[in-house]
């Protein structure tokens, strides 16, 4: 079946070795330094805060947005993380998830707005999102390692690529689902395009946008174990260590930690969406 004998592997490697790394290496190094500083700052802040204080804050936030049930679960979950000595690893994972989610939202929502209001942009963005969502997540790790080395930074980059599409798609969907009569009424009263966007479309699209933020955060957390393969610290590295040593107990301990964080973050963001 080898009719064309297409040397895609050789072309790709030549492109990377002969042009990408020599020409853009300094640019990616600069991005890596900025991201590393940001991630380290967030990680150190979360670790420096006493666990007891962080647990109380988390409980209050959970109570505020999702009620007593989640507050009780947050108490039990934080007690679990502390009792199995995984508090620091949990904060490292939360830092990577938060930074990745912030970057994904800051980039994804504007692109979602552009795709909803501009047909040309929608035509460009749609296949890019399809590519990002269908490409196996492990494939993201190769260019991440190549361009950013090992550690937190490539984990954030790989997570960003994996988790951004829901933010873009849900923002686009939310704006497109704003009732046409509301849009027409706004235009009739003399609204400009910016006023229509910020005073009508975005407020009405907020539930859909927040659903996208929620999905982005969950996808970012789901990358925790995969990102540990490229040196990302946190609960993923605990699970990976359990897999490497066939230590079922260690893998279960780290896996339950990820489940605890996932449930708390998921319910808080859902509660925030309802409040908004």
Question: Which CATH number belongs to the domain containing residue 177 in this structure?
Answer: 1.10.3720.10
pLDDT for residue 39 is more than 60: yes
Q: Which residue has the higher pLDDT, 139 or 55?
A: 55
pLDDT at 60 over 80: yes
pLDDT recorded at residue 171 = 92
Token pair for residue 160?
A: 């960003």
Domain membership flag for residue 4: no
Higher pLDDT, 4 or 164: 164
Question: Which pairs from 43-50 meet CB under 8 Å and 24+ separation?
Answer: 43/91, 43/92, 43/95, 43/152, 46/91, 46/94, 46/95, 47/88, 47/91, 47/92
Please report which helix (H) or strand (E) contains residue 143, including its range.
helix 137-148
Flag whether 235 is in a domain.
yes
Per-residue confidence band for 87, with pLDDT thresholds at 50, 70 and 90: very high
CB contact at 8 A, 28 and 235: no
Tell me whether residue 15 is in a domain. no
**Domain of 226?**
22-275
pLDDT at 80 over 90: yes
Q: Is residue 8 part of a domain?
A: no
In a domain, 148, yes or no: yes
- C-alpha 34/C-alpha 102 separation (Å) is 15
State the Cα–Cα distance between residues 22 and 126, nearest whole angstrom: 31
Residue 10 lies in a domain: no
Please, which pLDDT band fits residue 157 given cuts at 50, 70 and 90?
Answer: confident
- Indicate if the pLDDT at residue 1 is higher than 70: no
Taking the C-alpha atoms of residue 195 and residue 220, their distance in angstroms, rounded to an integer, is 33
Domain count, the chain: 1
Mean pLDDT to the nearest integer, 204-217: 89
Arithmetic mean of pLDDT, 262-275: 86
pLDDT tens digits, one per residue of 220-248: 888 877 888 888 888 888 998 888 888 89
- CA angle at residue 137 from 132 to 143, to 5 degrees? 80
Is it the case that residue 151 has pLDDT exceeding 90? no
Supply 19's token pair.
Answer: 């042009």
Is residue 44 assigned to a domain? Answer: yes
Distance CA 43, CA 140 (A): 23
Distance CA 76, CA 263 (A): 12
Longest dimension (CA), the chain: 67
Winning range, highest mean pLDDT, from 18-22, 98-102, 159-163: 98-102
Residue 2 confidence (pLDDT) above 60: no
Higher pLDDT, 53 or 13: 53
Q: Is residue 114 scored above 80 in pLDDT?
A: yes
Indicate if the pLDDT at residue 76 is higher than 90: yes
Residue % of the chain over a pLDDT of 70:
98
What token pair was written down for 165?
Answer: 């599409």
The pLDDT confidence band at residue 44, using thresholds 50, 70 and 90, is: very high
Burial (Cβ within 10 Å: 0-12, 13-18, ≥19) of residue 179: exposed
Q: What is the mean pLDDT of the chain?
A: 86
Specify if 68 maps to a domain. yes
């Amino acid at each position: 079946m080898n009719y064309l004998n297409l040397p895609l592997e050789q072309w790709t490697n030549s492109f990377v070795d002969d042009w990408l790394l020599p020409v853009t290496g300094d640019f990616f190094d600069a991005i890596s330094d900025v991201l590393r500083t940001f991630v380290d700052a967030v990680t150190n802040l979360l670790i420096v805060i006493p666990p007891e204080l962080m647990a109380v804050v988390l409980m209050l936030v959970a109570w505020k947005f999702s009620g007593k049930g989640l507050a009780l679960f947050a108490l039990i979950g934080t007690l679990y993380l502390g009792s199995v000595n995984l508090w620091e690893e949990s904060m490292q994972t939360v830092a990577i998830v938060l930074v990745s989610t912030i970057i994904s939202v800051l980039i994804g929502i504007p692109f979602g707005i552009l795709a909803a209001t501009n047909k040309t942009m929608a035509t460009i963005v749609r296949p890019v999102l399809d590519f990002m969502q269908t490409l196996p997540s492990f494939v993201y790790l190769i260019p991440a390692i190549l361009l950013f080395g090992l550690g937190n930074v490539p984990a954030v980059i790989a997570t960003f690529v994996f988790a951004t599409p829901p933010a873009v798609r849900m923002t686009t969907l939310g704006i497109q689902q704003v009732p046409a009569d509301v849009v027409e009424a706004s235009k009739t009263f003399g609204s400009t395009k910016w006023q229509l966007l910020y005073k009508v479309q975005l407020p009405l699209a907020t539930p859909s946008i927040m659903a996208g933020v929620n999905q982005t955060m969950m996808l970012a957390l789901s990358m925790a174990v995969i990102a540990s393969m490229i040196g990302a610290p946190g609960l993923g590295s605990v699970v990976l260590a359990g897999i490497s040593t066939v230590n079922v107990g260690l893998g279960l301990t780290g896996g339950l930690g990820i489940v605890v964080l996932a449930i708390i973050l998921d319910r808080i963001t859902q509660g925030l969406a309802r409040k908004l």
